[in-house]
Amino acid sequence: MDLASVIISFTEWSQTVASTWGYPGIFLINLVAAATILFPIPAFLVVFTFGAVLNPWLVGLAAALGATLGEFTGYGLGRAGEKVIEKKHEKWLKKANKWMEKYKAFTVIVFFAATPLPDDVVGVFCGAIKYDIRKFFIATFIGKMIMNLALALGGYYGMQWVLSIFGG
C-alpha cells in the first residue's frame, strides 16, 4: 500500500468517524494522526471541515488535546531510545541541545507544535534529553491549540464567506 492510498483511506475513515462521533471522533483522529511518526497524516482537513459544521472552538480544543497526546509517541520513543540516540547522534544532539538552550525549549516546542514543522523530531529529542514531561505537554498543547483553532475558525469563517457569496 503506497502513501497516497494510506492518506486517502485515512481521510475517508476520519470523515466517517468525525461525522458519527463528533468531538470525540475529532479527538481520536488527531490522536492517531499525531501518533504517526514516519509520515504525516492530514488531520488538518478534518479540523478545517468540521470547524465549519460544529462549534469551531470545541473542534479546536478536541483536536488540540488529541494531537497533544499523540505527540507523546515521539517523546516516549526518545525516552526509550535515549542511549542509542546519544551514541549514534552525539554531535547532532549537542548542537540541538545548545540551540534549545539558546532559544528556550518551551518556546521552540510551542513554535514547532503550532506550525507544520516536524514536531515529532522535537518530541523525540525532548524525550532523549528527559525534558520535563509536564512542560512538554503544556508547550505542545499551546502550540496545537493555536494551530487547530486557526484551522477550525478558518473552516467556519471560510464556509460563512462562501455561503454569503452564493446566497446560502
pLDDT digits (tens, 9 = 90+) for 105-134: 899 999 999 998 888 889 988 998 888 999
**Which helix (H) or strand (E) element contains residue 28?**
helix 23-35
| Separation CA 112–CA 116 (nearest Å) | 7
> What are the extents of the domains in the chain?
3-165
pLDDT, residue 86, reads 67
Rg (CA), the chain: 17
Of the candidate ranges 19-23, 87-91, 147-151, the one whose mean pLDDT is the lowest: 87-91
pLDDT, residue 25, reads 92
* All three cell numbers of 65: 488535546
Q: What is the DSSP letter of 118?
A: -
Q: Which of 140 and 4 is assigned the larger pLDDT? A: 140
The confidence band for 65, taking pLDDT boundaries of 50, 70 and 90, is: very high
pLDDT, residue 100, reads 76
Does residue 63 have a pLDDT over 80? Answer: yes
pLDDT, residue 1, reads 65
Burial tier of 20 (Cβ tally within 10 Å: 0-12, 13-18, 19+)? exposed
**For the whole prediction, is pTM greater than 0.75?**
yes
**Which helix (H) or strand (E) element contains residue 103?**
helix 90-103
pLDDT, residue 168, reads 59
